[in-house]
Amino acid sequence: MSSAHAFRFRKLAGESEFTLEDFAGQVILIVNVASACAYTPQYRDLEALYQAKKDKGLVVLGLPSNDFGAQEPGSESAISHFCETSYGITFPLAGKIEIAGAARHPLYDWVEEIAGRSGLPRWNFHKLLISRQGALIDSFPSNVSPLGPEMMGEICRALSAE
């Protein structure tokens, strides 16, 4: 598969699905999220980033997962409630997925094919930056701040590219 746009997700706490193709022409920042992680406060920065850059073509997409430290054990409705009430999240969230192990979502097989194991999440709040055309630009470990210079530089370059 040559483009991230082919991947499909179920909406959080919903029956309907979406594909990343729905965001074609936009830069997509994909983040595996968890509600009970030391990095959970990054939700605040992710929402600020989304609000600041969505009109320029950035989509932030949260992928809840319980794979790292069992830090997302709640139901999808509990996750939705937590995100809305604790951080005012308005960016899209997918249904819970597996990221590590044999049943991982195919998106992460694609990431490994392109970037090797170093592109895969090792913990919650790992970030994948996808170009407007659906190519993987880069991956960022959990400790890289969404509003830090490393990420902001890459995001601004991606947003300015055609």
Using DSSP's 3-state secondary structure scheme, residue 139 falls into: strand
CATH annotation of 4-160: 3.40.30.10
Backbone torsion region of residue 25, taken as left when φ is above 0, otherwise alpha when ψ lies between -120 and 50, otherwise beta: left
What is the domain partition of the chain in residue ranges? Answer: 4-160
pLDDT at 97 (0 to 100)? 96
Q: Which residues contact 67 (CB under 8 A, 6 or more apart)?
A: 32, 98, 99, 100, 101
pTM: 0.96
11, 95 Cβ separation under 8 angstroms: yes
Residue 1 pLDDT level (bands cut at 50, 70, 90): low
| pLDDT per position as a tens digit, 17-58 | 999 999 999 999 999 999 999 999 999 999 999 999 999 999
Residue 13's pLDDT band (cuts 50, 70, 90): confident
> Per residue in 79-136, pLDDT tens?
999 999 999 999 999 999 999 988 999 999 999 999 999 999 999 999 999 999 999 9
Task: Return the amino acid letter for 26.
Answer: Q
HSE value, Cβ hemisphere, 13 Å, CA-based, for 55: 3
Tell me the catalytic residues.
37
Looking at the chain, the number of H-run helices and the number of E-run strands are 4, 6
Q: Find the length of the chain.
A: 162
